[in-house]
Amino acid sequence: MQKITSIGRTRVGLIQFPGSNCDEDCVVALNRHFGLEVTKIWHRQTKLPAVDAIVIPGGFSFGDYLRCGGLAALSPIMDEIRAVAQKGMPIIGICNGFQILVETHLLEGALLPNAHGRFVCQRQGLVWSMKSMNSGANTKATISLPIAHGEGRFHADPHTVEKLKEEDRVLFTYAPNPNGSVGDIAGICDKSGRIWGMMPHPERAMEEITSGNEDGQLVWKAFFEHAMGGDANK
C-alpha cells in the first residue's frame, strides 16, 4: 500500500469518549495502511496536541443517553474542536462521530431513529455523490461499506437538503436506503469541504481478507485528498 508522502508526516488526532468502540479500528486503518501517526485524545482534555486532522470515531458515546452524540457534544474537548474547525482543520466524524458533529452544529441536519425502528447492521451500497469524487482515478462509481446504527436517518428541512445538493456537499447516498434518510443521504461535508460526516464505517472495510473489499481505503484517500489537500497516490 502506498504511503501518503506529499503532505509529509501527517499527524491525526483521534477523539475518545466513554463508549467509543471504533477508535482502535481507525488507529489500525490509518497506521497500517497509510503510515500515519495517530494520537488518542480523551474527551476531557481541553487542548489538542499538534495534529493535522481530527477523527471522531463511531461507538455509543455516553451510552447514547439523552440522544446519540448529545452529551459528547458538551465534552470539554469539543470547544477546542470548534475552534480548530473555524481555522480550517480537517475533521471526519464516522457514525457516532457524525452524530456528534451534527450535535455540535459543525454540520447541518439531524440524525434521527431509523424509520423502521430497528438497529441496522449490514454491508451497504453507496454512491459517490460529490461530483469531484465521482470521477477520481482512485474511486469507483459505487462502493460498499458496513453500517451499524439505530439512529442514522439523516433529516433536514427541504431548503437545507436542496442547499446541500446545490453546493455539492452530499458525499454519499445510499443504494438502497436502509433507514429512511431524506434524499438517501449517507454523508455530507461543510461548505469548506474540510469537515466530513458519514454513517458508514470505512475503517471496517480496509482489507479483502477481513471485510470482503478494500473500499474503505478509497474513502480515507478521498478525505486526505479533498479535505486535507494531500495526494494519496504519490
Query: Which entry of 22, 26, 95, 189 is annotated as an active-site residue?
Result: 95
Answer yes or no: 149 catalytic: no
Of 234, 223, 227, give the one whose Cα is nearest residue 85: 227
Answer yes or no: 43 catalytic: no
Distances (CA, A) of 105 to 15, 18, 199, 218: 17, 21, 16, 27
Using CA atoms, how far apart are residues 155 and 92, in angstroms rounded to an integer?
Answer: 19
Contact 97, 20 (CB under 8 A): no
Query: Which entry of 33, 43, 201, 226 is annotated as an active-site residue?
Result: 201
- What DSSP string runs through 39-105? EEEETT-SS--S-SEEEE--B-GGGG-SSTTTTGGGSTHHHHHHHHHHTT--EEEETHHHHHHHHTT
Residues annotated as part of the active site: 95, 201
